[in-house]
Amino acid sequence: MTREKEIERYVLEHVDQEDPLLQELDRETHLKVLGSRMLSGHLQGQLLTMFSKMIRPGRILELGTFTGYSAICLAKGLPEGGKLITIEKNDELVDLAQKYFAKTGLQSRIEQLVGAAVEIIPTLSDAFDLVFMDADKREYSDYYNLIFDKVHSGGYIIADNTLWSGKVLDAPVHGDDQTLGIIAFNEMVKNDSRVEKVILPLRDGMTVIRKK
């Protein structure tokens, strides 16, 4: 076992245990869904829950539901009357996510929308305290521009996969639009004086952005 894997195991042994329902969702996702590695997983899920409980957001927007793991983790920090809107373009994943929203008892706090985020975001009238971006990497800059005015001052945007398996360090391969999208997004946020930002080297990278 590599040193990195040993450290990861040590960390997981010293944080709160994974919710049994999230363990079940993790297993079912890996058994039934292609691209199961996109699921947030225990450590990142714990961090999202911690962020949500610290921020105490009244409204959360999530871009990229997948099978619902991260939505459940984020929704755990909602106060009474809070709401999470989550957008997923793959309609084949809706039933699986909805099943676990119900199992966790959070279905009344989670509204799931199906379609392209770039088309749905302009239709939303809510203002958000927390946004979690984990959808099409080619469109990260578009998401950022579309949601920015819908985020309260002092609110947060968390963008996942911003180190993109280290590909941000290399010259992008021709046609690798996902990597190009992440690099363009990172540069845009770096140069945006309207926000404070930090990149956490957790898993595939997570950028935490605070709107001034």
What are the tens digits of pLDDT across the range 101-144? 999 999 999 999 999 999 999 999 999 999 999 999 999 999 99
- Over the chain, what is the mean pLDDT? 95
Please state, in angstroms and rounded to a whole number, the distance separating the CA atoms of residues 31 and 178.
26
User: Quick one: pLDDT band at residue 59, thresholds 50, 70, 90?
Assistant: very high
Residue ranges of domains in the chain, CATH in brackets: 3-211 (3.40.50.150)
Q: How confident is the model at residue 35, as a pLDDT?
A: 87
**Does the structure show a pLDDT above 90 at 76?**
yes
Of 34-38, 54-58, 138-142, 154-158, least confident by mean pLDDT is: 34-38
Please state, in angstroms and rounded to a whole number, the distance separating the CA atoms of residues 28 and 68.
12
Mean pLDDT of 149-159: 98
Q: Answer for the pair 118, 142: CB distance below 8 angstroms, yes or no.
A: yes
Q: How confident is the model at residue 196, as a pLDDT?
A: 98
Torsion angle defined by CA atoms of residues 143, 156, 207 and 192, in that order, rounded to the nearest 10 degrees:
70
pLDDT tens profile 14-31 = 999 999 999 999 999 999
Q: How confident is the model at residue 174, as a pLDDT?
A: 81
User: Quick one: pLDDT band at residue 8, thresholds 50, 70, 90?
Assistant: confident
- Single pTM value for the model: 0.95
